[in-house]
């Protein structure tokens, strides 16, 4: 049996996992942005799940959205409108980009999800920004307590933080397996592992991770050695594109995705007030593209490139994603300055036009390797 | 379909080099470039162009690749099965059933341009039926960097086909017609082929002459292609390949905007991708035989 099958399996059964949790009489809360402090949800005995998109179509959501809006947010909304998220008791999002900001209203007024909640994330990281975000976290705790009738104590939060930090630590160890040549875990597998941590209670995921980490060195089917790539981008909620890339003879060994390294790179550092510690971690983490000062975000990407001995980079941006498209120009320059060839792809969440994307990726690989080796 | 809706239909053609003899060649290769609009086959004997065909791509790439290859071989006495190595390229490259390997059109156009224009080529612009590529390459024809336009067809050959039908001028004459204005009017503003067509239609209804509307359309296309080139950076020598390289209206405007004269080809530049593929096929056959 493949070493990472259990994660893939979990990912494919995410609806069942959520429904099983619900049958225990406990809530399921969907979150849409890596700035939503998941620990607080978890401490209310709810199952936090990331809201993924619907790759098949977006016709229901199209009615509510302008054509030049984010195809990922569109497909998530479509999924909800279609009833795929019937089990959600709540949906929590943040103003991480203008699309998310506006699409909040569509979730609130057009889906049947009972509680739709908004967290205001600052764009700056001054002292008062942290104070503000802490207040937002307090407000969020109150909302959860009132909505689900479960008190969220400081001690409870401390336990959850420990569980989450353990998960983060294990995920970092999984990523470390990709430093070697060839990596012990493929990019597709790594993404499945991270995504699967977003659909199940962390205790369960921690057990799976520990099992993997103790057995993986003996695996009989490690990835073949290939061109070592870093993937830069925003959300990637399935493995289709990475599969295309790795099937062309590459090893995706690093990323700066918010569904990848940026999800778990930092722990919550416990101090006297666990809620303040959580707020500090989320606002202080590797910044997403919407945060002020692009250089801070780019640093993480370039550090990853170096640490994971990357030979080239592919920037994957969603069409009309202003924040990332602005950064792509600076990021391209950073990669070039580091001597790394870089390919910039713009695509829809559906990956429509995959043939042309594939041609670009293939040509990029031919360029790096030569056609006749 | 009535005669007057066929202006887009560019002629298909083939050619054999009369003085070359395939029976004395040691390596026979084929490059098969299945584009979105045109399919090109180049048959090469020891790395020299021997025969070729250019046909319109049909709905089924497999059938088109067979038809184009058979047509290229027509009257040569050479059978498909005697070709030592076949490389498929272009958007339909995975649908060439008898290809030994596929290589992207980006690598093939750079390699082919190197063959057609010589080792001084550093920037290749390929304007095809459905997309447009700006490629930087070294003195060996190896790709150093490249950019492709988006899926939109307005800056490409297919857009010109649609436009030819709209104004009722055969596509081969379009470029020339577009140059019959004293000064270019403002370019059409739409980047989508359907909207650009609607905009052109509106201009015709306003009483603009066909020449003036053609100039506006070509000017817009040239602007868009020039933007792509500017992003990849142009270095001499600069060449244009692909079907649109035959359109003087585009080539002349590009020359004006970029202030750089593209090299004149010494053979049909629509074949660059197929020739590149056939040259890679030769290298791959040599490798297979242990010769390199």
- Contact at CB, B151 and A355, closer than 8 angstroms: no
Q: Looking at CA atoms only, how far is residue B284 from chain A in angstroms? A: 6
Q: Which residues of A touch B85 (CB under 8 A)?
A: none
Report d(CA B132, CA B186) in Å as an integer: 22
- Contact at CB, B143 and A353, closer than 8 angstroms: no
A276 contacts A118 by C-beta, under 8 angstroms: no
Question: Residue ranges per domain, chain B?
Answer: 13-112+271-288, 120-264
- Contact at CB, B287 and A372, closer than 8 angstroms: yes
Low-confidence ranges of chain A (pLDDT < 70): 1
The answer, for A372 touching chain B at a CB cutoff of 8 Å, is yes
Report d(CA A219, CA A212) in Å as an integer: 10
Q: Which residues of A touch B103 (CB under 8 A)?
A: 366, 371
Confidence at residue B4, expressed as pLDDT on a 0 to 100 scale: 55
Q: Kindly calculate the radius of gyration of chain A based on its CA atoms and give it in whole angstroms.
A: 20
Q: In chain A, what are the helix, strand and coil shares in percent, each to the nearest 5?
A: 50, 10, 35
Encode pLDDT of A265-297 as tens digits: 999 998 889 999 999 999 999 999 999 988 888
Say how many residues make up chain B.
292
Confidence at residue A1, expressed as pLDDT on a 0 to 100 scale: 54
The answer, for B288 touching chain A at a CB cutoff of 8 Å, is no
Among candidates B106, B111, B150 on the partner chain, residue whose Cβ is nearest the Cβ of A363: B106
Confidence at residue A297, expressed as pLDDT on a 0 to 100 scale: 86
The answer, for B283 touching chain A at a CB cutoff of 8 Å, is yes
Question: To the nearest 10°, the Cα dihedral for A230, A233, A235, A239?
Answer: -40
Nearest to B86 by CA among B12, B27, B24: B27
Closest-CA residue of A relative to B136 is A367
Q: In this structure, what DSSP letter does residue A79 have? A: H
- Contact at CB, A371 and B280, closer than 8 angstroms: yes
Q: Looking at CA atoms only, how far is residue A80 from chain B in angstroms? A: 29
A156-372 belongs to CATH 3.30.390.50: no
By three-state DSSP, how is residue A337 classified?
Answer: helix
Q: Which residues of A touch B111 (CB under 8 A)?
A: 371
Q: Which residues of B touch A356 (CB under 8 A)?
A: 91, 131, 148, 151
Architecture of domain A11-152: 3-Layer(aba) Sandwich (3.40)
Confidence at residue B1, expressed as pLDDT on a 0 to 100 scale: 44
pTM value is 0.91
- Contact at CB, B106 and A355, closer than 8 angstroms: no
Q: Looking at CA atoms only, how far is residue B239 from chain A in angstroms? A: 19
- Contact at CB, A372 and B105, closer than 8 angstroms: no
B154 contacts B222 by C-beta, under 8 angstroms: no
Most A CBs within 10 A among B136, B143, B195, hence the mutation to make, goes to B143
Three-class HEC string of chain B: CCHHHCCCCCCCEEEECCCCCHHHCCCEEEEEEECCCEEEEEEEECCEEEEEEEEECCCCHHHHHHHHHHHHHCCCCCCHHHCCEEEEECCCHHHCCCCCEECCHHHHHHHHHHHHHCCCCCEEEEECCCCEEEEEECCCCCEEEEEECCCCCCCCHHHHHHHHHHHCCCHHHHHHHHCCCCCCCCCCCCCCHHHHHHHHHHHHHCCCCHHHHHHHHHHHHHHHHHHHHHHHCCCCCEEEECHHHHCHHHHHHHHHHHCCCCCCCCCCHHHHHHHHHHHHHHHHHHHHCCCC
Q: Which residues of A touch B280 (CB under 8 A)?
A: 371-372
**Which run of H or E residues covers position A249?**
none
| Mode of pairing for the β-strands spanning B123-127 and B238-241 | parallel
Q: Looking at CA atoms only, how far is residue A235 from chain B in angstroms? A: 21
- Contact at CB, A356 and B148, closer than 8 angstroms: yes
Confidence at residue A146, expressed as pLDDT on a 0 to 100 scale: 97
List phi, psi (to 5°) of B154: -65, -30
By three-state DSSP, how is residue A197 classified?
Answer: coil
The answer, for B105 touching chain A at a CB cutoff of 8 Å, is yes
Confidence at residue B61, expressed as pLDDT on a 0 to 100 scale: 84
Per the structure block, which two tokens stand in for A181?
């040549």
Report d(CA B282, CA B28) in Å as an integer: 8
- Contact at CB, B105 and A359, closer than 8 angstroms: yes
Report d(CA A192, CA A14) in Å as an integer: 12
ω before A182 within 30° of 0 (cis)?
A: yes
Three-class HEC string of A276-293: HHHHHHHHHCCCCCCCCC
Q: What is the mean pLDDT of chain B?
A: 92
By three-state DSSP, how is residue A77 classified?
Answer: helix
Q: How many CB pairs under 8 A join A and B?
A: 44
Q: Looking at CA atoms only, how far is residue A372 from chain B in angstroms? A: 6
The answer, for B140 touching chain A at a CB cutoff of 8 Å, is no
Confidence at residue A39, expressed as pLDDT on a 0 to 100 scale: 98
**Which run of H or E residues covers position A172?**
helix A154-176
Sign of the alpha-carbon dihedral angle for A347, A353, A356, A361: positive
Q: Quick one: pLDDT band at residue B195, thresholds 50, 70, 90?
A: confident
By three-state DSSP, how is residue A91 classified?
Answer: strand
Among candidates A355, A356, A366 on the partner chain, residue whose Cβ is nearest the Cβ of B107: A366
Encode pLDDT of B199-238 as tens digits: 999 999 999 999 999 999 999 999 989 988 998 899 999 9
Q: Quick one: pLDDT band at residue B59, thresholds 50, 70, 90?
A: confident
CA angle A151, A152, A156 (to 5 degrees): 125
Among candidates B91, B143, B283 on the partner chain, residue whose Cβ is nearest the Cβ of A363: B143
Q: Which residues of B touch A363 (CB under 8 A)?
A: 104-107, 143, 146
Interval B96-112 mean pLDDT: 96
Strands ordered across the beta sheet of B132-137? B143-148, B132-137, B123-127, B238-241
- Contact at CB, B143 and A356, closer than 8 angstroms: no
ω before B132 within 30° of 0 (cis)?
A: no
CATH class of residue range B13-112+271-288: alpha beta
Architecture of domain B120-264: 2-Layer Sandwich (3.30)
- Contact at CB, A366 and B144, closer than 8 angstroms: no
The answer, for B142 touching chain A at a CB cutoff of 8 Å, is yes
Question: Residue ranges per domain, chain A?
Answer: 11-152, 156-372
- Asked if the domains B13-112+271-288 and B120-264 are classified in one and the same CATH topology, the answer is yes
Interval B27-56 mean pLDDT: 96
Encode pLDDT of B135-159 as tens digits: 999 999 999 999 987 656 666 888 8
Work out the number of other CB atoms within 10 angstroms of the CB of residue A1. 7
- Contact at CB, B287 and A353, closer than 8 angstroms: no
Report d(CA A218, CA B15) in Å as an integer: 60
A31 contacts A92 by C-beta, under 8 angstroms: yes
Q: Tell me the residues of chain A between 302 and 341 that have a Cβ less than 8 Å away from chain B.
A: 341
The answer, for A67 touching chain B at a CB cutoff of 8 Å, is no
């Amino acid at each position: 049996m493949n070493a990472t099958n259990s994660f893939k399996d979990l990912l494919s059964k995410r609806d069942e996992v959520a429904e099983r949790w619900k049958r225990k009489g406990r809530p399921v809360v969907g979150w849409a942005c890596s700035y939503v402090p998941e620990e607080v949800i978890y401490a209310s005995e709810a199952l936090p799940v990331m809201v993924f998109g619907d790759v098949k179509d977006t016709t229901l959501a199209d009615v509510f959205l302008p054509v030049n809006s984010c195809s990922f947010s569109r497909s998530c909304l479509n999924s909800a409108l279609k009833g795929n998220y019937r089990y959600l008791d709540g949906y929590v999002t943040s103003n991480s980009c203008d699309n998310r900001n506006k699409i909040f209203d569509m979730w609130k007024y057009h889906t049947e999800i009972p509680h739709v909640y908004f967290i205001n994330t600052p764009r700056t990281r001054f002292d008062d920004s942290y104070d503000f975000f802490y207040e937002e976290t307090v407000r969020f705790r109150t909302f959860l307590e009132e909505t689900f009738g479960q008190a969220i104590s400081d001690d409870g939060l401390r336990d959850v933080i420990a569980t989450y930090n353990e998960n983060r630590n294990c995920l970092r160890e999984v990523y470390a397996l990709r430093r070697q040549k060839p990596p012990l875990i493929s990019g597709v597998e790594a993404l499945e592992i991270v995504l699967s941590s977003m659909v199940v209670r962390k205790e369960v995921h921690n057990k799976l991770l520990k099992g993997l980490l103790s057995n993986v060195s003996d695996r009989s089917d490690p990835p073949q050695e290939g061109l070592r790539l870093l993937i830069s981008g925003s959300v990637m909620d399935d493995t289709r594109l990475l599969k295309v890339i790795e099937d062309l003879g590459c090893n995706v060994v690093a990323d700066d995705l918010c569904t990848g390294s940026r999800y778990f790179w930092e722990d919550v550092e416990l101090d006297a007030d666990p809620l303040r510690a959580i707020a500090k971690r989320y606002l202080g983490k590797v910044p997403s593209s919407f945060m002020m000062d692009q250089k801070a975000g780019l640093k993480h990407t370039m550090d990853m490139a170096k640490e994971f001995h990357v030979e080239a980079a592919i920037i994957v941006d969603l069409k009309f994603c202003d924040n990332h498209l602005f950064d792509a120009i600076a990021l391209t320059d950073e990669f070039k300055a580091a001597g790394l060839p870089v390919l910039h792809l713009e695509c829809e969440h559906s990956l429509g036009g995959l043939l042309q994307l594939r041609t670009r990726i293939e040509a990029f690989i031919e360029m790096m390797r030569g056609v006749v080796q | 379909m009535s005669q007057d809706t066929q202006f887009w239909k560019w002629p298909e053609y083939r050619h054999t080099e009369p003085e070359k003899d395939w029976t004395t060649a040691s390596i026979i290769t084929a490059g098969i470039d299945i584009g979105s609009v045109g399919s090109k086959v180049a048959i090469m004997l020891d790395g020299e162009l021997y025969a070729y065909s250019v046909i319109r791509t049909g709905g089924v790439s497999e059938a088109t690749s067979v038809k184009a290859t058979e047509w290229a071989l027509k009257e040569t006495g050479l059978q498909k099965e005697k070709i030592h190595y076949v490389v498929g390229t272009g958007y339909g490259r995975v649908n060439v059933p008898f290809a030994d390997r596929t290589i992207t059109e980006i690598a093939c156009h750079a390699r082919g341009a190197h063959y057609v224009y010589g080792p001084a080529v550093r920037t290749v612009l390929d304007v095809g039926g459905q997309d447009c590529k700006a490629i930087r390459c070294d003195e060996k024809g190896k790709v150093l960097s490249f950019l492709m336009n988006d899926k939109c067809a307005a800056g490409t050959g297919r857009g010109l086909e649609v436009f030819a039908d709209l104004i009722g001028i055969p596509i081969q004459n379009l470029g020339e017609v577009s140059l019959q204005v004293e000064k270019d009017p403002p370019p059409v503003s739409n980047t989508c082929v359907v909207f650009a067509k609607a905009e052109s239609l509106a201009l015709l209804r306003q009483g603009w002459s066909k020449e003036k509307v053609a100039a506006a359309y070509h000017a817009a296309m040239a602007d868009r292609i020039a933007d792509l080139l500017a992003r990849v950076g142009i270095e001499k020598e600069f060449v244009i390949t692909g079907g649109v390289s035959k359109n003087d209206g585009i080539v002349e405007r590009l020359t004006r905007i970029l202030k750089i004269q593209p090299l004149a080809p010494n053979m049909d530049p629509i074949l660059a991708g197929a020739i590149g593929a056939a040259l890679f096929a030769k290298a791959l056959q040599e490798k297979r035989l242990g010769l390199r």
